[in-house]
Amino acid sequence: MSLEAFQRIMTSENVHFMLRSASYSVIIAICALVGGSVLGLLSASMKMSKHGVLRGIANVYVEIIRGTPMLLQIMLLFLGGPVITKSLFKFVFTPNPYVIGAVAVAINSGAYSTELFRSAIQSVDKGQWEAARTIGLNHWQTMKEIILPQAFKRILPPYINEFIVLLKDSSLLSSIGAVELLQSARVIGADNYNYLVPLLCATGMYLVMTLTISFFARKLERRLAESD
Protein backbone atom coordinates (compact mmCIF):
# COMPACT_ATOMS: atom_id res chain seq x y z
CA MET A 1 0.00 0.00 0.00
CA SER A 2 1.63 3.21 -1.17
CA LEU A 3 1.33 6.64 0.41
CA GLU A 4 -0.17 7.93 -2.83
CA ALA A 5 -2.95 5.35 -2.66
CA PHE A 6 -3.64 6.25 0.95
CA GLN A 7 -3.83 9.97 0.16
CA ARG A 8 -6.01 9.37 -2.88
CA ILE A 9 -8.53 7.33 -0.90
CA MET A 10 -8.48 9.07 2.47
CA THR A 11 -9.34 12.56 1.31
CA SER A 12 -10.40 15.19 3.83
CA GLU A 13 -14.02 14.53 2.84
CA ASN A 14 -13.69 10.79 3.48
CA VAL A 15 -11.88 11.34 6.78
CA HIS A 16 -14.67 13.68 7.89
CA PHE A 17 -17.23 11.08 6.81
CA MET A 18 -15.53 8.41 8.93
CA LEU A 19 -15.17 10.72 11.93
CA ARG A 20 -18.85 11.61 11.76
CA SER A 21 -19.75 7.93 11.52
CA ALA A 22 -17.49 7.19 14.48
CA SER A 23 -19.40 9.79 16.49
CA TYR A 24 -22.60 7.91 15.65
CA SER A 25 -21.01 4.72 16.98
CA VAL A 26 -20.14 6.48 20.26
CA ILE A 27 -23.61 8.02 20.61
CA ILE A 28 -25.29 4.67 19.96
CA ALA A 29 -23.04 2.99 22.55
CA ILE A 30 -23.77 5.68 25.15
CA CYS A 31 -27.54 5.49 24.58
CA ALA A 32 -27.41 1.70 24.73
CA LEU A 33 -25.38 1.79 27.94
CA VAL A 34 -27.80 4.19 29.64
CA GLY A 35 -30.84 2.23 28.47
CA GLY A 36 -29.20 -1.05 29.36
CA SER A 37 -28.36 0.28 32.83
CA VAL A 38 -32.00 1.15 33.48
CA LEU A 39 -33.18 -2.23 32.20
CA GLY A 40 -30.41 -4.07 34.06
CA LEU A 41 -31.13 -2.37 37.39
CA LEU A 42 -34.85 -2.97 37.01
CA SER A 43 -34.36 -6.59 36.00
CA ALA A 44 -31.86 -7.18 38.82
CA SER A 45 -34.39 -5.80 41.32
CA MET A 46 -37.03 -8.11 39.89
CA LYS A 47 -34.70 -11.13 40.13
CA MET A 48 -34.08 -10.35 43.80
CA SER A 49 -37.78 -9.76 44.47
CA LYS A 50 -39.80 -12.00 46.77
CA HIS A 51 -42.52 -12.18 44.12
CA GLY A 52 -42.20 -15.25 41.93
CA VAL A 53 -43.91 -13.61 38.93
CA LEU A 54 -41.40 -10.75 38.86
CA ARG A 55 -38.48 -13.18 39.19
CA GLY A 56 -39.93 -15.27 36.38
CA ILE A 57 -40.30 -12.29 34.02
CA ALA A 58 -36.74 -11.17 34.69
CA ASN A 59 -35.36 -14.69 34.23
CA VAL A 60 -37.20 -15.15 30.92
CA TYR A 61 -35.93 -11.79 29.66
CA VAL A 62 -32.33 -12.55 30.60
CA GLU A 63 -32.35 -16.09 29.22
CA ILE A 64 -33.95 -15.14 25.89
CA ILE A 65 -31.66 -12.18 25.25
CA ARG A 66 -28.48 -13.94 26.37
CA GLY A 67 -29.44 -17.07 24.45
CA THR A 68 -29.87 -15.42 21.05
CA PRO A 69 -27.44 -13.44 18.85
CA MET A 70 -27.54 -9.66 19.04
CA LEU A 71 -27.71 -9.44 15.25
CA LEU A 72 -30.88 -11.53 15.29
CA GLN A 73 -32.41 -9.25 17.93
CA ILE A 74 -31.58 -6.16 15.87
CA MET A 75 -33.12 -7.66 12.72
CA LEU A 76 -36.27 -8.83 14.54
CA LEU A 77 -36.85 -5.41 16.10
CA PHE A 78 -36.18 -3.55 12.85
CA LEU A 79 -38.17 -5.84 10.56
CA GLY A 80 -40.77 -7.05 13.06
CA GLY A 81 -41.67 -3.63 14.49
CA PRO A 82 -43.51 -2.39 11.37
CA VAL A 83 -45.35 -5.70 11.04
CA ILE A 84 -46.55 -5.59 14.66
CA THR A 85 -47.64 -1.93 14.53
CA LYS A 86 -49.51 -2.53 11.27
CA SER A 87 -51.28 -5.59 12.69
CA LEU A 88 -52.21 -4.07 16.06
CA PHE A 89 -52.61 -0.35 15.35
CA LYS A 90 -53.35 -0.31 11.61
CA PHE A 91 -50.62 2.13 10.62
CA VAL A 92 -47.29 1.72 8.86
CA PHE A 93 -44.31 2.40 11.11
CA THR A 94 -41.09 3.37 9.33
CA PRO A 95 -38.23 2.52 11.69
CA ASN A 96 -35.17 4.72 12.03
CA PRO A 97 -32.15 2.38 11.91
CA TYR A 98 -30.20 4.43 14.47
CA VAL A 99 -33.05 4.59 16.99
CA ILE A 100 -34.09 0.97 16.54
CA GLY A 101 -30.46 -0.11 16.65
CA ALA A 102 -29.78 1.76 19.89
CA VAL A 103 -32.93 0.28 21.45
CA ALA A 104 -32.00 -3.24 20.37
CA VAL A 105 -28.45 -2.92 21.69
CA ALA A 106 -29.80 -1.45 24.95
CA ILE A 107 -32.14 -4.40 25.40
CA ASN A 108 -29.23 -6.76 24.84
CA SER A 109 -26.99 -4.83 27.22
CA GLY A 110 -29.71 -4.83 29.87
CA ALA A 111 -29.72 -8.61 30.03
CA TYR A 112 -25.98 -8.75 30.67
CA SER A 113 -26.10 -5.78 33.04
CA THR A 114 -28.72 -7.59 35.11
CA GLU A 115 -26.22 -10.09 36.44
CA LEU A 116 -23.61 -7.37 37.01
CA PHE A 117 -26.01 -5.33 39.12
CA ARG A 118 -27.39 -8.33 40.95
CA SER A 119 -23.97 -9.68 41.93
CA ALA A 120 -22.72 -6.21 42.93
CA ILE A 121 -25.78 -5.49 45.09
CA GLN A 122 -25.67 -8.89 46.75
CA SER A 123 -21.96 -8.48 47.51
CA VAL A 124 -22.73 -5.55 49.86
CA ASP A 125 -22.71 -6.73 53.45
CA LYS A 126 -26.20 -7.56 54.75
CA GLY A 127 -25.44 -5.74 57.97
CA GLN A 128 -25.72 -2.47 56.07
CA TRP A 129 -29.34 -3.24 55.20
CA GLU A 130 -30.05 -3.85 58.88
CA ALA A 131 -28.26 -0.67 59.89
CA ALA A 132 -30.31 1.32 57.37
CA ARG A 133 -33.55 -0.04 58.82
CA THR A 134 -32.53 0.95 62.33
CA ILE A 135 -32.17 4.60 61.26
CA GLY A 136 -35.56 4.59 59.56
CA LEU A 137 -34.63 4.26 55.87
CA ASN A 138 -37.04 2.40 53.61
CA HIS A 139 -35.97 -0.06 50.89
CA TRP A 140 -35.53 2.49 48.10
CA GLN A 141 -33.76 5.01 50.32
CA THR A 142 -31.37 2.29 51.42
CA MET A 143 -30.68 1.34 47.82
CA LYS A 144 -30.13 4.94 46.72
CA GLU A 145 -28.08 6.22 49.65
CA ILE A 146 -26.12 3.16 50.81
CA ILE A 147 -26.21 0.08 48.59
CA LEU A 148 -25.97 1.45 45.02
CA PRO A 149 -22.98 3.78 45.67
CA GLN A 150 -20.99 0.82 46.98
CA ALA A 151 -22.22 -1.46 44.21
CA PHE A 152 -21.21 1.14 41.62
CA LYS A 153 -17.59 1.00 42.70
CA ARG A 154 -17.58 -2.79 42.36
CA ILE A 155 -19.37 -2.80 39.04
CA LEU A 156 -17.26 -0.08 37.38
CA PRO A 157 -14.48 -2.26 35.85
CA PRO A 158 -16.79 -4.76 34.13
CA TYR A 159 -19.15 -1.94 33.17
CA ILE A 160 -16.41 -0.08 31.35
CA ASN A 161 -15.72 -3.30 29.47
CA GLU A 162 -19.43 -3.47 28.64
CA PHE A 163 -19.28 0.03 27.13
CA ILE A 164 -16.29 -0.95 24.99
CA VAL A 165 -18.17 -4.05 23.81
CA LEU A 166 -21.21 -1.92 22.93
CA LEU A 167 -19.00 0.48 20.99
CA LYS A 168 -17.67 -2.38 18.90
CA ASP A 169 -21.06 -4.08 18.59
CA SER A 170 -22.53 -0.90 17.11
CA SER A 171 -20.99 -2.15 13.86
CA LEU A 172 -23.84 -4.68 13.70
CA LEU A 173 -26.27 -1.86 12.94
CA SER A 174 -24.90 -1.71 9.41
CA SER A 175 -27.14 -4.72 8.76
CA ILE A 176 -30.22 -2.46 9.01
CA GLY A 177 -28.80 0.52 7.14
CA ALA A 178 -27.13 2.57 9.86
CA VAL A 179 -23.91 4.17 8.67
CA GLU A 180 -21.59 3.80 11.66
CA LEU A 181 -17.79 3.62 11.58
CA LEU A 182 -17.36 0.20 9.98
CA GLN A 183 -20.06 0.81 7.40
CA SER A 184 -18.45 4.13 6.44
CA ALA A 185 -15.22 2.25 5.76
CA ARG A 186 -17.10 -0.17 3.53
CA VAL A 187 -18.73 2.66 1.62
CA ILE A 188 -15.39 4.36 1.01
CA GLY A 189 -13.84 1.04 0.03
CA ALA A 190 -16.59 0.35 -2.49
CA ASP A 191 -16.29 3.83 -4.01
CA ASN A 192 -12.52 3.47 -4.47
CA TYR A 193 -12.29 -0.28 -5.19
CA ASN A 194 -9.92 -0.57 -2.25
CA TYR A 195 -11.19 -1.81 1.11
CA LEU A 196 -7.83 -2.21 2.83
CA VAL A 197 -7.08 1.47 3.41
CA PRO A 198 -10.45 2.52 4.91
CA LEU A 199 -10.64 -0.68 6.98
CA LEU A 200 -7.19 0.00 8.43
CA CYS A 201 -8.29 3.56 9.23
CA ALA A 202 -11.41 2.20 10.93
CA THR A 203 -9.21 -0.17 12.93
CA GLY A 204 -7.09 2.75 14.10
CA MET A 205 -10.17 4.76 15.09
CA TYR A 206 -11.65 1.87 17.07
CA LEU A 207 -8.34 1.42 18.88
CA VAL A 208 -8.06 5.12 19.69
CA MET A 209 -11.60 5.15 21.12
CA THR A 210 -11.29 1.97 23.15
CA LEU A 211 -7.82 2.77 24.50
CA THR A 212 -8.95 6.28 25.47
CA ILE A 213 -11.97 4.88 27.32
CA SER A 214 -9.76 2.34 29.11
CA PHE A 215 -7.28 5.05 30.12
CA PHE A 216 -9.89 7.29 31.72
CA ALA A 217 -11.61 4.28 33.27
CA ARG A 218 -8.39 3.30 35.05
CA LYS A 219 -7.98 6.85 36.36
CA LEU A 220 -11.57 6.88 37.64
CA GLU A 221 -11.10 3.46 39.20
CA ARG A 222 -8.00 4.62 41.07
CA ARG A 223 -9.78 7.75 42.27
CA LEU A 224 -12.71 5.73 43.58
CA ALA A 225 -10.29 3.34 45.30
CA GLU A 226 -8.58 6.28 47.04
CA SER A 227 -11.93 7.56 48.29
CA ASP A 228 -12.66 4.32 50.19
What angle, rounded to 10 degrees, do the helices at 12-47 and 196-226 form? 40
Expressed as residue numbers, the domain containing 189 is 3-226
pLDDT at 201: 94
CB atoms inside a 10 Å sphere around CB 155: 21
Q: What is the pTM for the complete model shown? A: 0.87
CB neighbour list of residue 29: distance below 8 Å, 6 or more residues apart: 105, 163, 166, 167, 170
State pLDDT tens for residues 12-64: 999 999 999 999 999 999 999 999 999 998 999 899 888 889 999 999 999 99
pLDDT at 2: 66
- Sign, CA torsion 192/197/200/206: negative
CATH number at residue 95: 1.10.3720.10
Counting beta carbons within 10 angstroms of the beta carbon of residue 184, is it exposed (0 to 12), middle (13 to 18) or buried (19 or more)? buried
Intervals of the chain under pLDDT 50: none
pLDDT at 226: 66
pLDDT at 193: 87
pLDDT at 20: 95
Q: Which strand (E) or helix (H) includes residue 148? A: helix 148-169
pLDDT at 227: 62
Domain count, the chain: 1
Judge whether 206 and 29 are in contact, CB under 8 Å.
Answer: no
Judge whether 37 and 155 are in contact, CB under 8 Å.
Answer: no
